[in-house]
Structure 1
Amino acid sequence: MMNSSSEEEVTAAVTLGLLAAWALHDLEELATVPGWWRRNLPALRERCPTVPQAVWRRAGSVDGREFAVAVGAMAAVVAAASVAGRLTGGRSAVYQSALNAFGLHGLVHLAQAALVRGYTPGSATSPLIVVPFTLWARHRLRRAGVLRATRPRDLAVGLGFAGAATVAAHAAARRLTKG
Structure 2
Amino acid sequence: MTTSETRVPAAATWGLLAAWVAHDIEELATMATWAERARPRLEARLPWVPTAVWDRMRVSQEHVNVSIGLMGCLVAAAAADGARTNGRSALYQTVLAGFGLHAVSHVASAVATRGYTPGVVTAPLVAAPFSLWAWRELRRAGVPAVPVGPGAAALFPVAIATVHTAASAIVSARARGRRSRSRDGAAAPAAAVTPRRGPAARPPVRPGPA
Q: Indicate whether the TM-score tops 0.5.
A: yes
- Report the TM-score, using the length of structure 1 for normalisation: 0.87
In structure 1, the residue matched to 2:125 is: 128
Distance 1:84 1:52, change over 3 A: farther
Q: Number of matched residues? A: 173
Look up the equivalent residue of 2:158 and give its one-letter code.
A
Match of 1:174 among 150, 168, 176: 168
In structure 1, the residue matched to 2:80 is: 83
Shift of 1:34: 1.4
Q: Percent of aligned positions with the same letter in both sequences?
A: 46
Deviation beyond 6 Å, 4+ runs, structure 1: none
In the alignment, does 2:155 pair up with 1:164? no
What secondary structure is seen at the aligned counterpart in 2 of 1:49? coil
- Report the TM-score, using the length of structure 2 for normalisation: 0.75
In the alignment, does 2:43 pair up with 1:49? no
Contact map agreement 2:45 2:113 (CA 8 A) in 1: no
Distance 1:164 1:4, change over 3 A: closer
- Matches for 1:92-171 after TM superposition, within 5 Å: 92-148=89-145, 154=149, 156-171=150-165
More helix by share: 1
Look up the equivalent residue of 1:123 and give its one-letter code.
V
- Structure 2: 5+ residue stretches without partners: 174-210
- Structure 1: 5+ residue stretches without partners: none
- Structure (1 or 2) with the larger CA radius of gyration: 2
Deviations 1:96-121 (A, max 9, x none): 11011101111211222222333221
Distance 1:117 1:140, change over 3 A: same
Pairwise CA RMSD:
2.0
**Structure with higher RCO (Cα < 8 A, 6+ apart):** 1
